[in-house]
Amino acid sequence: MNVLQVCELGPTRYREGLALMDGLVAARARGETGDWLLYPQHESVLTVGRNPSEDNVRVDREALERTGIEVVEIPRGGDITWHGPGQLVGYPIVALDRVERDLHRWLRLLEDALIAALARWDLEGRRIPGRTGVWLSEHEKIASIGVAVRRWVSYHGFALNVTNALDAFALIHPCGFHDICMTSLAERLGPDAPDVRGAGAAVTAELAARLGFDGVVPAHPADAWALAGIARNADTSKREVASEGSRPRGGAQAW
């Protein structure tokens, strides 16, 4: 069926999310499943892609350790960013035949979907040449995008600031840029801002339409974990996953 399976994972440790993507990408590449869009709720974490710039962390190691925020190196394109509560993090596990295996087209499509979703709240999202992501002005960024590809299946994805606090971004130069600030739907819209679920529904609809799906189907998290071959404890948000086993392997990446 030509549908996008959409799964709200709930609280998900970041390294568990990496393991889940790893398993689903392998299953999708083998033709054992269709395309997925995962929405995890991550704890506060800094992630570093394969193309980091120097001095992208603005505080010293001791100050960073005092925050309790983990730093995780991951195999996506791009530099450093933050994920955490109140942010819409989306992982499309999609066969890129839908965009003729064109990575630049895939990145532009993700931007288009986010820009169209923002327009529902009368916010004018825009692109800036050479700076992947979605911006509200030349120096205000509201959404980051970083993807990886293995066997022409995309993983990782986008992060849209919705209701999350923005102070953690002060720890870093977001995406390696020294001349920007991060903003959010809540900062721009105040009490009229949607919650994370509402923002997710808008982004899902815009992304599914651009990818040519006939519809979206909600999927249960247990089905996603089972398909990925991962057994979880009852308290899934606290289960430890070995760091080496949790990292997706190989693949081209784009930012």
Instruction: Assign residue 184 the CATH number of its domain.
Output: 3.30.930.10
Amino acid at position 43, single letter: E
Phi first, then psi, for residue 143 (nearest 5°) are -145, 140
- pLDDT tens digits for 78-110? 678 899 999 999 999 999 999 999 999 999 999
- pLDDT tens digits for 221-250? 999 999 999 987 644 444 333 333 333 333
Phi first, then psi, for residue 125 (nearest 5°) are -75, 155
Residue 132 lies in a domain: yes
- Number of domains within the chain: 1
Give the whole-angstrom CA distance, residue 69 versus residue 29. Answer: 33
Give the whole-angstrom CA distance, residue 132 versus residue 143. Answer: 9
From the list 16, 14, 2, the residue with the least C-alpha distance to 245 is: 16
Find all residues with CB under 8 Å of 188, minimum gap 6, and list them.
123, 136, 142
Residue 253 lies in a domain: no
* DSSP percent split of the chain into helix, strand, coil, nearest 5: 35, 30, 35
Active site residues: 175
Residue 252 lies in a domain: no
What residue has token string 């080496």? 244
Residue 254 lies in a domain: no
- pLDDT tens digits for 153-170? 999 999 999 999 999 888
What range does the domain containing 18 cover? 3-247
Q: Are 162 and 175 in contact (CB under 8 A)?
A: no
